[in-house]
Structure 1
Amino acid sequence: MDPICDSTNGYFDSTASEYVITDLKTPRDWYNYAWNDSIVGLFSQCGRGESIIQDERGQRFHVASNRMVYLRDQESGEFWNLNALPVHSSEGAQCRHGMGYSEIESETHGVSSVLRWFIPDEAPCECWQVTLTNQGSTSRTLDLFAYMGTSFDGVLRPQSYYDGHGAFHPDLDAVSLSKLHAFREAKEVRIFLTMDRTVTGYDVAERGFLGSGTELFPDAVARGQCGGTGSEMEKSCCALQTAVLLAPGETVTVCLLAGGVVDLDEVAALRERFLSPEKMTQAWQTSRDKILALVGDGRIETPDTALNAFFNPWLKRQLSLGTRWARVRHNGFRDQIQDIGSLALFAPDEAFRQLKRVLSFQYPNGYAPRTWLDGKILDKDFSDNHVWIAAAVHALVMEKGTSDILETMIPYNDGSEGSLYEHVQRSIAFYDNDRGPHGLLKIRSGDWNDCLDRIGPQGKGESVWLSMAWVSACSKFADLARLSGRVSDAVQAEAWAEDMREIVDRSAWDGEWYLRAYHDDGETIGSARNDKARMFLLPQVWSVYAGAARGERGAQAMDSADRYLNSKLGTRTMLDPYDGWDDRIGLATGKTPGTHENGGVYLHACTFKLAADSLLKRHENVAFALKTILPFTDHSERKPCEPYVLCNSYFAIDGSYRYGSAGQSWGTGAAGWFYYAFTHFVFGIRPQWDGLLVDPCLPPEWKQAAFHRHFRGTDYEFSFEQRKPCGSVRQILVNGAAIEGTVIVPDGSAQVVVDVILG
């Protein structure tokens, strides 16, 4: 398969499931993430990045804050690094970001190198594999230096003391740094760096390795010898040195491990498990194979070859990060639950495993906390965390085609337990008793928008969006209740949903669009009468997606969103963003107008709109969304970011040099929701109890497309033929035979071919 070029800096290599960065002078660092249940790390095209260890209760500590590998020729004294830094002097170097690993390839001073970094399947460490080849005709004697910067003991501050004790352990060819820190049942933890060769030098004090130099030009590398320093209450690092002899044409591999443990016996065990070229290569292959098995096939074929390469495996890889590590900086309950609902569509067993883990942090009354960190549940008085539970469980049940899992017992955060069904039921019922003066649901100190944190802390402020989301949650719970024979629960949930539709219609309609919220004092937010933030995208979209709108109001609200919020850069989150601090609103007003939730192009919200536009069969809007959401499209308004994963936003700061810049990549709910919206509503393949509903809304210019999907033991090959733009379903053929209706009923076949004719 030919490389898929989409950027001046690189291309998708679909054969290897890699993104190849051919010009390391990217507009900003382009990261790859790797993780398992105990460690997460990121690695840029030049090796920058950090890694974090975490236990089951959210107690965590940092391992790496940077990684560098250097070579020094003993004869000439010349030295360089294998990170290909500085990039302006590293012509020909490239980086391959793959599934759970990255490789920097370069050639300098007659030595070619491959620096591979990855995190193995199950271990609290990261693996560094350095492969060197002598391209010259004479033997070379080199010193290899490996350096790991760390914030384990704190960030660098002049004239400061640091926690930690560092030393070299000759029996392990390792350096380590320890400190008092609660982790699992221990009171002390340590980080380490070890290698599979005899160590000829080491440093744990940063002054010993860097000296008066920098990470690009450390004193130890310049002089050819580490300082042999330990570390006591000073800024620390982990650095090792070894000698490498290379005959002409010879290739040598050096293996290193960096990680976090409680005691040194664990380091010895990890060395035994990983520390040889053969063992490390096998661990890399095992990890890669497991990732590719998790993301599955699920490929698509569209006129956009970059979209095809991005969708599988990169999009699914990105959303799977959120199911275990949320947005990485903390363990968001709602973040993980949303992504688990999308993971269920291609990896239901793994989704169920993660779902049980996250639900164990829910309170017995149905309420769920915002996050947990450092061994503590952080409630934060947020209102929406538990509204997402019903959707995730519904997705899992519809995907698996069995309601038996609803009886699985799962603990609450106080140690009591209830069935999966009860977890959902309590999350729904909680809201009926958490209403404000209009009968809408309380916003408390924030809903989906974390930055609307001062609207309802007194317990009277209300969220229009959350009320709409509850309508959807009630409907999904009613499905689950009927499937499990609990008809009275279904009737109650449907009554709640209908009652809330009436309240939204009566109390939240503003004439052309829906309000966003009410203050504690009863003032409106998101009204045409307000001076700022006169309309928000979220309630307009969810009025349609959640089925909360009555009559034509949902379509009218979406028309208003298109009229007032669409821009060349994408769909903005609000009309007339806040332009200064407002203590009655909160954090949103502290952000520059056009940034993130304060009027930026926030992609999580844009993916909600993609779903709603597809439901309304607004094909042109679907095409607009794909162009403005996807990171690799030809877009003159936007500055380049990582082409292989979604970012969380684009800055819409008019007149600023930051206009069109991307926010953070990888850690965003946009990935899971884009996958869900694209498969469920653009391709329109929606799992339901009796099979797969077919209800697509393709971009007008797409004449053909295909989607290969596994469902309940069968491989389905959907092909779409759109005979005229903006086509609707005219005929569906299953294995060549026309069917009545639009639902594909599973029959136990190993493979099914479905042709969808649109016209």
Structure 2
Amino acid sequence: MEQIRSAFRTYGYFSSDGLEYIITDPRTPAPWVNVISNGDYGLVISQAGSGYSFLTHASLNRITRWEQDLIRDEWGKYLYIRDLETGLTWSAGYQPAGRDLEDYRVRHGLGYTVLEARRAGIAHSLTVFVPGHDPCELWILRLENKGSQRRRLQVVSYFEWLLGAAPDWHREFHKLFIETWYRADAGLLLATKHLWELPAGDEIGWNRSWPYVAFHTASPAPSSFEGDKRAFLGRHGRLEAPQSLTAPQASNTQGRFGDAIGSLRVEVTLDPGESKEVVFVLGAARNEEQALSLGRKYQDVTRAHEALRQVQRFWRELVGSLTVKTPDEALNRMVPWLIYQAVSGRLFARTAYYQTGGAYGFRDQLQDSLIWLLLGRPERTLEQIKLHAAHQYREGIVLHWWHPLAETGSKSDYSDDLLWLPFALLYYLRETGDFAALEERVPYYDGGAGTLKEHALKAFEVALSRRSPRGLPLILGADWNDGLNAVGKKGRGESVWMAHFLYFLLTGWSELPVLDAATRERFQTEAQSLKAATNLHAWDGEWYWRATTDSGRVLGSRNSPEGKIFLNAQTWAVLSGLAPLERARTALASARKYLYQPYGPLLLAPAYTRPDPEIGYLTRYAPGLRENGGVYVHAACWAVLAERKVNGVGSAYELWKSFCPAHRGQDADAYQAEPYVMPGNVDGPLSPTPGRAGWTWYTGSAAWNLRAIVEGLLGLEATLEGLKLEAQLPEDWDGYRVIRRYRGTTYQIRVRRAEPGEARGLWVNGKPWDNPVLPQAIGEVLSVEALV
């Protein structure tokens, strides 16, 4: 553990239990944030104390204003601490007035963040979190007088109201609709907006009110409040030193005629050695009555702490659902953070710092939801599947994305989107054996309803109808790689990756006992047709090419001047089983030769150096960034799984380590991004900063990385027959332990190297077991030992 801690000494380190990342220097290379959400209300907070809050949708229903400036990171919700005797003022966090703080550190935890520091003899800690079920956030500020003199302090909150669709670039317009008022009887500052620019696709348009009441309160009762930005800052004022703080009290401005902010002042007196706590509450309620109720509830410090304990208990139990212990401490530390990132960041909040989203992506959250299967909570995956099925049209096409609240979206012309529904169902069925779920009826987006099985079969029908004359799938508006958005717009371009993906699904579904004989035979026939066409037309000699354009131009070929080889066309040739074994080996060897870098496998190489309108916006990225010749980490996780299938765990582990944040982040200035969560991408060799990571938190790589660990490194895979263990060890591992729940059985698994004279094999509850598919015992704990 000390080795891991010292490796991150520049800016921070993992706590001893791995459930916190402790930042000791706020001047990190980029904002290092936490994404905190209960599935409806959420917030994002950086190590500097900046960030924003939202309800249900981070872009359409933002509570506080925030500007995406990852260099300055100076927009947020802040607490000032002012000594009423000396006038000295500072902030609880590094922003906006905390540059002289002593002993500053930030503890990003699962469901909470704590900012700790000292200034002028006052020690303070600010704990920020979201209660488990209420639409609000709590800030618990603890103040302690370390000196020998009595101290009179004033604590002042500050943020800007947004109350609707973000960003509100035309603030001079939007501020005209915000109204604030103060309930002195409850110490509650309230706000609403008389306009909500919701893109609901109806005739109301910009003629609706924001249907919530935002609120801000504190304990003890505020001595004064401020609702106007100019009154708070002063003309040309700065957040570092607001002019109003020099006055004993705020101006108590409220109404509709200013630039709306939320600011409360509370007074705290501390004797020498004394400590006190102040709770601030910010939220958005259905109406004023609920706002009053929630405000009063959490003005109680005891209730606030109980809510914090409940949040911490929830996340600890969730990440404890899958326990992994290996000789690689970085891997062990990543597992709970991958779970937390996928659930809190991708499924609950659907937003972060690099991308402030809020919508559902049809393929995105379906893939993310597969993480529930690894945590023994398959019912949550099924809920997500049904939600997405309800955004499929009767014809089988789906929405590429849609907005909750507005329930509007974009009808997909992507070739792959609709197939992620049967993909998620296939994984759900392998995990649970719950074939009855296929008979659950779910509405279609445009009316009517069908069983989940019917939804899936409609997706197959559409996909099978989209074929070129030589039998390869059409790419249409794009496939998984959104940047190939010009390749097949005229309906002639082909996708080799889609051939692999569709083959994988056809063969997987043909094994399900719920298909009738005619459908099973058809799927098997179509799969063999795809396999033959792909191996006949798409093999380039040493690898599979990636796509053809409408004009017939081949992408990802040795004859391509740029973009000669694409990663997904090689890895999915392996994962799908479409490639014959020798071709699978050759394809991965080519990927290793041309794509693998010390910081992960590139999505394609070489990068495109100039825009190509026949390919799409992928070529318009700077060379080496994101999909254009960078490491797209989502796809890198698939490469780990492919390596395991062809070359064994040693190759899979070496590739996995190359892009693991907890390993890469040991050179934090070069890596730049948070070392405790997955990035979306890493710069490739044509970037001036190869190996630099970005686009953290809001990426599908978290859930896939966890699966790459469980299946690719630990050898545990759910099958229709049961949980399968293919035990292998990397060369420098002596063993590992994992606790995995599956179909009501808890498996406590230990894999280790056999000692001299020991027989290799598998034992269950101390008895020999000669099948890699483990037995099941609902409600029981099975002890499994594998000697290799």
Cα separation, 1, equivalents of 2:753 and 2:459: 42
Q: Distance in 2 between matches of 1:16 and 1:566?
A: 29
> 2:695: which partner in 1?
664
Q: Give 1:749 shift.
A: 6.2
* Distance in structure 2 (CA, Å) of the matches to 1:276 and 1:439: 67
Residue of structure 2 in register with 1:219 after alignment: 243
The equivalences for 1:558-577 within 5 A come to: 558-577=588-607
Q: Distance in 2 between matches of 1:733 and 1:36?
A: 41
In the TM superposition, what are the counterparts of 1:262-277 in structure 2 within 5 Å?
262-277=286-301
Q: What is the CA-CA distance between 1:325 and the residue it aligns to?
A: 4.4
Distance 1:3 1:523 in 2: 51
Amino acid at match of 1:37: G
C-alpha change, 1:494 and 1:295, in structure 2 (3 Å) is farther
Q: Once the 2 structures are TM-superposed, how far is the Cα of residue 653 of structure 1 from its aligned partner?
A: 4.7
Q: Are residues 1:197 and 2:220 paired?
A: yes
Equivalent residue number for residue 75 of structure 1: 85
SS at match of 1:552: helix
Counterpart of 1:456 in structure 2 is: 488
d(CA) in 1 for partners of 2:686, 2:53 = 36
- Provide the aligned length of Structure 1 versus Structure 2: 749
Paired with 2:617 and 2:637, the residues of 1 have a C-alpha distance of 23
Partner residue, 1:609:
639
With over 3 angstroms needed to count, the CA separation of the structure-2 counterparts of 1:627 and 1:3, relative to structure 1, is: closer
Give distance in 2, aligned partners of 1:488 and 1:222: 81
After TM superposition, list the pairs within 5 Å mapping 1:253-292 onto structure 2: 253-292=277-316
One-letter code of the match for 1:219? Q
Indicate the structure whose relative CO is greater, using CA pairs within 8 Å and at least 6 residues apart: 2
Partner of residue 718 from structure 2, selected from 687, 692, 701: 687
What residue in structure 2 maps to residue 63 of structure 1?
A: 64
* 1:723-755 C-alpha deviation (Å, 9 max, x unpaired): 59xxxx951111222222311121346221211
- What is the aligned partner in structure 2 of residue 375 from structure 1? 407
Contact 1:681 1:697 in 2 (8 A): no
Match of 1:142 among 149, 153, 166: 153
Q: Distance in 2 between matches of 1:676 and 1:129?
A: 36
Distance 2:160 2:87 in 1: 24
How far apart are 1:262 and its partner, in Å? 4.5
The one-character-per-residue Cα deviations of 1:186-226 (angstroms, maximum 9, x if unpaired) are 73244332223322232222222222232222222244443
Give the 3-state SS of the residue equivalent to 1:315 in structure 2: helix
- Greater Cα shift, 531-540 or 191-200: 191-200
* Structure 1 residue 663: Cα displacement: 0.9
Partner of 1:165: 178
Matched, 1:741 2:756: no
Kept after mapping to 2: 8 A contact 1:360/1:413:
yes
Q: CA deviation at 1:146?
A: 0.5
Note closer, same or farther for the CA distance 1:697–1:667 as it changes in structure 2 (3 Å cut).
Answer: farther
After superposition, the CA RMSD in angstroms is 2.6
Deviations 1:558-598 (A, max 9, x none): 11111111122221111111112221112111111110100
Counterpart pick for 2:231 among 188, 208, 221 = 208
Deviations 1:512-569 (A, max 9, x none): 1111111112211111112211111111110001112134212211111111111222
List per-residue Cα deviations over 1:10-44 (Å, max 9, x = no partner).
22225482222223232221111111232232111
8 A Cα contact 1:52 1:64, kept in partner: no
Structure 1: give runs of 5+ residues left out of the alignment: none
**Structure 2 equivalent of residue 355 of structure 1:** 385
| Mapped contact 1:63–1:259 kept (Cα < 8 A) | no
* 1:313-352 superposed Cα distances (whole Å, 9 cap, x missing partner): 2111112232344455132111100111232221212222
Spell out the pairing of 1:685-724 with structure 2 (5 A cutoff): 685-722=716-753
SS in 1 for 2:522: helix
- Distance across 1 between alignment mates of 2:716 and 2:350: 26
Determine helix, strand or coil for the equivalent of 1:40: strand
Residues 659-692 of structure 1 deviation map (CA, whole Å, 9 limit, x = unaligned): 3221121111111111112112221111122221
Whole-angstrom CA distance in 1 between matches of 2:624 and 2:437:
44
Kept after mapping to 2: 8 A contact 1:3/1:12: no
Residue aligning to 2:536: 506
Match of 1:751 in 2: 781
Distance in 2 separating the partners of 1:585 and 1:384 = 17
Task: Please say if 1:441 is aligned against 2:473.
Answer: yes
The 3 A distance-change label for structure 1 pair 11 and 245 is same
CA drift of 1:231 comes to 5.8
User: What are the residue-to-residue correspondences of 1:111-190 with 2, within 5 Å?
Assistant: 111-152=122-163, 160-163=172-175, 164-170=177-183, 171-172=185-186, 173-181=188-196, 187-189=209-211, 190=213
Query: Which amino acid is the alignment partner of residue 318 of structure 1?
Result: Q
CA pair 522-416 structure 1, distance change in 2 beyond 3 A: same
How many angstroms apart in 2 are the aligned matches of 1:590 and 1:233?
45
Identity %: 28
User: Using the alignment, how far apart are the partners of 1:398 and 1:326 within structure 2?
Assistant: 27
Q: Tell me, in whole angstroms, the C-alpha distance in 1 between the residues paired with 2:16 and 2:681.
A: 26
Relative to structure 1, the CA distance from residue 64 to residue 719 in structure 2 (aligned partners, 3 Å threshold; closer, same or farther) is: farther
Q: For 1:432-474, what per-residue CA distance to the aligned partner results, in whole angstroms no more than 9, with x for missing partners?
A: 1122333222212121111111111112212111121111122
Is the contact made by 1:345 and 1:396 (CA closer than 8 Å) also made in structure 2? no
Separation in structure 2 between the aligned mates of residue 14 and residue 102 of structure 1, nearest angstrom: 17
- What is the TM-score normalised by the length of structure 2? 0.90
2:114 equivalent in structure 1 = 103
> Distance between the aligned counterparts of 1:630 and 1:590, measured in 2?
28
Question: Are 1:370 and 1:385, in contact at CA under 8 Å, matched by a contact in 2?
Answer: yes
- Quickly say closer, same or farther: Cα 1:210–1:628, change in 2 above 3 A: farther
Bigger Cα displacement from structure 2, 186-195 vs 382-391 = 186-195
2:72 is matched with none
- Name 1:298's counterpart in structure 2: 322
1:230 aligns with 2:254: yes
Task: Return the TM-score normalized by structure 1.
Answer: 0.93
Alpha-carbon distance change, 159 to 705 in structure 1, aligned in 2, over 3 angstroms = closer
Change (3 A) 1:584 1:235: farther
Q: Contact 1:713–1:748 at 8 Å: present in 2 too?
A: yes
- SS of aligned partner of 1:405: helix
> What is the CA distance between 1:431 and its match in structure 2?
0.6
